[in-house]
Structures are given as structure tokens and as C-alpha cells.
């Protein structure tokens, strides 16, 4: 052990021997070396596997299902090469070699004094990771939104066939999973990583290197999904039921790779967030003094941690059925397609609340600030979040009413599905109760509250119909279902995220979001959203099926209206993106606490220092005491009056 030391807040900490410059090989690794490593190793693995399965062949025929092993090798090579090129394996290798990180190494990995280039590296600072998540969410949203425009173009041009049926089905499936991933991370990613440690009063996440690993695994998971479109895509919807899964082309391998890698990323992020919240809250921040956003992000992490492995297992088992002839889902060999459906939906419905709860919690965080009132029934909000977490794992089979699996279980699952509307209703009542008879500050973040409440009411009411077996027999597989889940996922999560971006933008960037341009984009998106999916409700009530390229002329008008609305959303999101980019570069400078909020995340300087707090804070009150009289106010008034009398010479 070297005698070298590093001084941290006047405490000398013994340091291991420094080998070379701080950071070592990490100084040379970044996104571009990761990209090069992924492409090179994917090419090598694909070439070797192609020789193995087709000796003498020069290229693989990716149009055939027999190309599956080669495409799988390419995906494995991409993942290993990209993560290796990013430096994800450097930490474990150093640990095996007995070369622990020094303080200087840790500071380098946190991005100290590296400027904007730290956003392209395997950086451990939670604030950098939060911004990386924000950018990645926007990239995936852009990709999914582009596919949505292509889908609506096909359905809007009712007099011609724009795409062939196979490619159209691939657009639908890829759009679905891309938007699901984007909605999962759009709040939990940037807020969970940038804001939650600050809100807890911590100096970083519990496991900084795992934090960096989670974001770069997410980045690594996206190219296989995009590449799958080039080799046949996924033509069976985002759920890709068996046996259609095993019968699909090699594009299914890309989808499965994305899900497996994304599930690992989610598990790592969930453990990190939960550990940070459980062990690193500031002194005095008891559970009754914890901001509601922390509860929301913690709940989403907990649901993701137990639910995502089911989805991951379903794809791993499907991949082994395809590649090494196992028979988990082959009834002829003793397998069961019901196993796949249950594994899939054991994630498929908790995932809805993984998306909804963080966005709703952000809305609950905004209301006290912009209403200048305490949160109405703080404990009811917590009860609502806990109730959703508890019931979310007991509702999955309502997606399987019409499959024929265990029909005797339909009515118990109908009951549990209807019951979960009770804790969700608690959250809505808390929102409405806080707004009741209040005067609000009409800024863009507060506008998001009204939009989310409106969308959640429509999505919640229509969901009651789909939870009932008799009604679901009529609506199942129709555009009514599509409209419902878009109101719940996009209508709540996306508009809540837009409000969160407007609210936290000054802390993330040190600048205000352009209120005028952002509001135009926001309200145009809201109007386009109502046009698009309101018309889908009508089409669904008329009987238009989902995932169908050609349909009766009866549905033409509904589809024209929905396509107009969808393009309105697309234009609006481009305007909102323009507001983000222009404000980030040239926006009005903001003070450290422009909203005069009381939570700890707004009590730090902007830009936030590397260690967040020079002295760890101590919490002595509730986070939402707006409008509550100061108990020392009479003494303060008396002292001020005495001072005025003394100045005037009055005894």
C-alpha cells in the first residue's frame, strides 16, 4: 500500500498506488471506440459463424430463418465489442489484477474537468448519466415516432398500399417496443439519476460504476432493434406470441437481443436507485419527510426489478428454442405456448405502472410548487403508490381473457384489475385535492398537470370497460384498445415527462426552457393527441381491428382524422425538441432555485458541483410546507417592529 493520500473534506484517506495517469486506459475509451469495437467484433463473430454453418459461403442469407445462428453471433459480437470498447470491463479486470481505483482515478471517471466530452464516456457522475438518459430517451422517442408516422401514413392513405404487409407489420411491432422502452426511461432515467440523489441529499448514487453500466447497456440495446428491421423485423406485434415467435425470421434475434440487454440495464439501474434511496437519504429525511418523487421512482424500480426478468426469461427461452432446439414452447415436444404468454404478461402489465407511477409522482411534485400549497393528503398519495405496487402483479391475465387459458381465472383477474383503479384513484384525488380552491402559477410545468389529469381520466374510464370480461369480448383486438393504452402510456407518461423537462430544465442546464416555444409544442401535441386517439375510439367502437393493413371503407374517415392528428403530434414534438435545443444553447440564464421549491435538489448551486453538497444537509421539516405559518413568525414580527420604532426614535 502506497503512502499517498487524498484529502476529502479534511479527512485523509489512504490511497492505493497510482499506476500511470489517472483513468489509465479509460482515457482512450469512449463512445466511438465502443462503436468501432462493436462493429468489428460483430463482423468477426458473424464471419466465423457463417463459416461454421455454411462452409464455403461468402455471405449469410439473412432472408431465411436458417441465418438465425449467424445473426445471433453478430448480435453477441456487437454487445461484447461495444461494451468492451466503452471500457465496461476495465473495472472487473483491474479488480482481478488487484489495482483498485485511486481517488484521482475516481475523479477522472466522474468526468472532472473533461467538459462536454464526459458525456461520450463511461462516466460515473450521476448528473452526467442523467443527461445521457435524457438524450437517449429523446433518440428512442424520435425513432419510435418516425415509425408511428409511417404507420399512420399507411392507414391514412386508404386508397393505396404504401408498404407491403410484412414490412407494415414490422413497423407496428418495432414501433411498439421502441415506445415502451422510451416511456419506461423517459422519467425514471433522467429524473432517477440526476434529481433523486440530489433530492435525497446524497453526493452520488450508491454504485457509480453500475450507474454508467446501466446507461451504456441501454445504448447498446438499441442498434439490434433497428437492425432487425433490415432483416425481416418482428411481424407479430411487440408481444410476439409463440409459436409465431419461433417461426419468424432472423429479425426476431435482434428484438430478443434488445430485450435481454435492456432487462439487464433495468435491473442494474433499479438496484442502484433503490439502494441509494434506502441508504443515502439525508439525516432527518425520515419516510414521512421524503418527497413524493422519491416514492414514485422507488416504486417503479421495485416493480421493474421483479417484473422485467419474466420478460427476459421468455425471450431467452424463445431464443434457445430457435437456436439449439429446446422445446419450452413446443407442444409437440412437451412445451407450452401458455408458458410464454404468462411470462410475457407477468411483465406486460406491471410495466404499465413502471411507466405511469414516476410520471404521476412528478406531477404530484409540481403541484405544491406552482400552487404554493401543501400536498393534499401526502399519506394518501403514498398509499396509492404502495397499493399500485402491491396489486400490479395480480392483474396480468386480463390480457389473456380471449386466449382460452384458464377461463375459470377470468373473473378473479377481472376483480383484481378493477381493484387497482382504487389506488390509482387515490393519486388522482390527491392531485385534484391539492388544486382545489387554489391559485396556480400558470407556467408550462403546471400546464402539464392539467393535461395529465385529463388524459388519465379518459384512459382510466375506458380501461374499466376492458377489465370486464363481457365488454372485452367485444373490444378485444380493436382500435379501442389501441386508443386506451395510448391514453394511459403516452397521454400520462409523455405529457408528464414534458412537464418534468420544463420544471427541471434550469437545474439540468442552468437555463430556462423557452416558455413560448415549449408551450406551443406542448399544446399542439395535446390537441393532436386528442384528435388521433379520440378518432381511434370511434373506429374501435365501429369494429376496426388492430394490426390490419387493409380494412373496410367504413373506417376511412376515422383513419384520415387519426393520421392528421398523428402528423400534428409529430410537428408539435419537433417544436418542443427545438425549444429544448435552442434553450440549451442560448436560453435565458436561470438562478439555482428559480421556482423557490423546498426540496433539496433545488438547494444546490447550478451547475451542480461534482460532489453536490459541500456539507451534507440535515432535513428538519416537510418538503411541502408552502403556506404553512412559520411558528416563529410572531417573534420575528415583534423584532421587526421594535427595529422600526428604534429607527424612528419612538420608545
**Cβ–Cβ < 8 Å for 78, 34:** no
| φ/ψ of residue 14, rounded to 5 | -60, 135
CA distance 300 to 364: 15
CA 487 to chain centre: 17
pLDDT at 551: 86
Structural element, H or E, at residue 212: helix 208-228
Is the model's pLDDT at 1 over the cut of 90? no
CA 537 to chain centre: 26
**Cβ–Cβ < 8 Å for 531, 579:** no
CA 427 to chain centre: 20
Grid cell listed for 619:
432535513
Residue 127, beta-bridge partner list: none
pLDDT at 636: 53
CA distance 117 to 84: 19
> Which alpha helices (DSSP H) does 280-349 contain, by range?
292-323, 337-348
Which residue ranges make up each domain of the chain? 24-102, 124-596
81-90, 99-108, 398-407: which is most confident:
81-90
Please tell me the number of Cα atoms within 13 Å of 349 on its side-chain side.
23
Residue 273, C-beta contacts closer than 8 angstroms, at least 6 positions apart: 188, 192, 193, 196, 205, 297, 298, 301
Cα 573-599-205 angle, rounded to 5 deg: 80
Percentage, residues of the chain above pLDDT 70: 92
Percentage, residues of the chain above pLDDT 90: 75
Q: Give the three-state DSSP class for 8.
A: strand
CA 100 to chain centre: 33
**Cβ–Cβ < 8 Å for 381, 430:** yes
Given pLDDT bands bounded at 50, 70 and 90, which one contains residue 588?
A: very high
Please tell me the number of Cα atoms within 13 Å of 366 on its side-chain side.
29
pLDDT, tens digit, 9 for 90 and up, residues 608-636? 999 999 899 999 888 888 876 655 455 55
Given pLDDT bands bounded at 50, 70 and 90, which one contains residue 325?
A: confident
pLDDT at 95: 86
pLDDT at 7: 41
What's the mean pLDDT in 242-254?
A: 88
Structural element, H or E, at residue 13: strand 11-14
**Cβ–Cβ < 8 Å for 215, 182:** no
pLDDT, tens digit, 9 for 90 and up, residues 506-546? 999 999 999 999 999 999 999 999 999 999 999 999 999 99
Distances (CA, A) of 590 to 132, 310, 582: 21, 44, 15
Distances (CA, A) of 615 to 76, 202, 276, 618: 45, 10, 18, 9
What's the mean pLDDT in 448-477?
A: 93
CA distance 239 to 451: 29
CA 558 to chain centre: 31
pLDDT, tens digit, 9 for 90 and up, residues 14-68? 777 777 788 889 999 999 999 999 999 999 999 888 776 555 444 445 445 446 7
CA distance 565 to 308: 33
Is the model's pLDDT at 12 over the cut of 80? no
pLDDT at 97: 85
What's the mean pLDDT in 363-378?
A: 93
Residue 283, beta-bridge partner list: 618
The cell 414514485 sits on which residue?
Answer: 296
Identify the CATH number of the domain defined by range 124-596.
1.20.210.10
Please tell me the number of Cα atoms within 13 Å of 405 on its side-chain side.
16
**Cβ–Cβ < 8 Å for 75, 253:** yes
Amino acid at each position: 500500500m502506497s503512502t499517498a493520500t487524498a484529502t476529502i473534506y479534511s479527512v485523509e484517506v489512504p490511497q492505493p498506488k497510482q499506476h500511470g495517469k489517472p483513468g489509465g486506459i479509460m482515457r482512450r475509451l469512449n463512445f466511438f471506440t465502443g462503436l468501432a469495437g462493436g462493429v468489428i467484433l460483430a463482423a468477426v463473430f458473424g464471419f466465423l459463424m457463417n463459416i461454421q454453418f455454411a462452409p464455403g459461403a461468402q455471405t449469410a442469407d439473412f432472408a431465411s430463418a436458417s441465418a438465425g445462428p449467424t445473426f445471433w453471433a453478430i448480435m453477441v459480437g456487437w454487445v461484447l465489442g461495444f461494451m468492451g470498447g466503452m471500457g465496461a470491463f476495465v473495472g472487473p479486470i483491474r479488480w482481478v489484477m488487484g489495482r483498485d481505483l485511486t481517488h484521482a482515478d475516481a475523479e477522472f471517471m466522474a468526468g472532472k474537468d473533461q467538459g462536454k466530452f464526459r458525456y461520450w464516456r463511461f462516466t460515473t457522475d450521476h448528473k452526467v448519466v442523467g443527461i445521457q438518459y435524457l438524450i437517449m430517451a429523446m433518440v428512442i422517442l424520435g425513432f419510435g415516432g418516425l415509425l408511428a408516422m409511417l404507420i399512420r401514413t399507411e392507414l391514412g392513405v386508404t386508397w393505396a398500399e404504401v408498404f407491403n404487409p410484412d414490412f407494415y407489420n414490422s413497423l407496428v411491432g418495432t414501433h411498439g417496443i421502441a415506445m415502451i422502452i422510451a416511456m419506461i426511461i423517459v422519467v425514471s432515467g433522467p429524473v432517477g439519476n440526476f434529481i433523486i440523489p440530489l433530492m435525497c441529499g446524497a453526493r452520488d448514487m450508491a454504485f457509480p460504476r453500475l450507474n454508467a453500466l446501466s446507461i451504456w447497456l441501454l445504448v447498446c440495446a438499441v442498434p439490434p432493434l433497428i437492425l432487425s428491421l433490415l432483416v425481416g423485423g418482428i411481424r407479430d406485434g411487440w408481444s410476439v406470441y409463440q409459436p409465431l415467435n419461433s417461426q419468424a425470421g432472423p429479425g426476431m434475434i435482434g428484438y430478443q437481443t434488445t430485450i435481454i440487454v435492456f432487462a439487464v440495464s433495468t435491473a442494474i439501474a433499479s438496484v442502484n436507485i433503490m439502494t441509494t434511496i434506502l441508504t443515502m437519504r439525508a439525516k432527518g429525511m425520515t419516510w414521512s419527510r421524503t418527497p413524493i418523487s422519491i416514492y414514485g421512482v422507488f416504486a417503479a424500480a421495485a416493480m421493474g426489478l421483479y417484473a422485467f426478468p419474466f420478460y427476459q426469461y421468455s425471450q431467452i427461452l424463445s431464443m434457445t428454442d430457435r437456436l439449439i432446439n429446446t422445446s419450452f414452447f413446443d407442444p409437440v415436444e412437451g412445451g407450452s405456448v401458455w408458458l410464454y404468454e404468462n411470462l410475457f404478461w407477468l411483465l406486460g402489465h406491471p410495466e404499465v405502472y413502471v411507466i405511469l407511477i414516476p410520471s404521476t409522482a412528478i406531477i404530484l411534485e409540481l403541484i405544491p410548487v406552482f400552487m404554493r400549497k401543501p400536498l393534499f393528503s401526502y399519506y394518501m398519495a403514498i398509499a396509492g403508490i404502495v397499493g399500485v405496487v402491491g396489486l400490479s402483479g395480480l392483474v396480468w391475465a386480463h390480457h389473456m381473457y380471449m386466449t382460452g387459458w384458464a377461463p375459470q381465472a377470468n373473473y378473479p383477474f377481472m376483480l383484481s384489475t378493477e381493484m387497482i383503479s382504487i389506488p390509482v384513484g387515490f393519486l388522482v384525488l390527491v392531485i385534484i385535492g391539492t388544486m382545489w380552491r387554489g391559485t396556480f402559477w400558470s407556467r408550462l410545468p403546471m400546464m402539464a398537470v392539467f393535461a395529465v389529469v385529463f388524459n388519465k381520466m379518459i384512459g382510466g374510464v375506458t380501461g374499466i370497460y376492458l377489465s370486464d370480461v363481457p365488454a372485452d369480448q367485444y373490444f378485444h383486438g380493436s382500435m379501442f384498445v389501441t386508443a386506451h393504452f395510448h391514453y394511459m402510456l403516452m397521454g400520462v407518461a409523455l405529457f408528464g415527462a414534458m412537464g418534468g423537462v420544463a420544471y427541471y430544465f434550469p437545474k439540468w442546464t442552468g437555463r430556462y426552457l423557452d416558455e413560448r416555444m415549449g408551450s406551443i409544442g406542448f399544446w399542439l401535441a395535446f390537441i393532436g393527441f386528442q384528435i388521433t386517439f379520440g378518432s381511434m375510439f370511434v373506429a374501435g367502437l365501429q369494429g376496426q381491428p388492430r394490426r390490419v393493413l387493409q380494412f373496410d371503407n367504413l373506417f376511412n374517415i376515422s383513419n384520415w382524422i387519426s393520421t392528421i392528428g398523428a402528423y400534428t403530434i409529430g410537428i408539435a414534438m419537433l417544436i418542443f425538441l427545438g425549444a429544448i435545443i435552442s434553450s440549451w444553447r442560448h436560453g435565458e440564464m436561470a438562478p439555482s432555485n428559480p421556482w423557490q421549491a423546498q426540496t433539496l435538489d433545488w438547494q444546490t448551486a447550478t451547475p451542480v458541483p461534482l460532489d453536490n453538497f459541500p456539507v451534507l444537509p440535515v432535513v428538519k421539516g416537510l418538503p411541502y410546507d408552502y403556506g404553512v405559518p412559520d411558528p416563529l413568525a410572531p417573534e420575528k414580527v415583534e423584532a421587526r417592529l421594535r427595529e422600526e420604532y428604534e429607527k424612528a426614535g419612538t420608545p
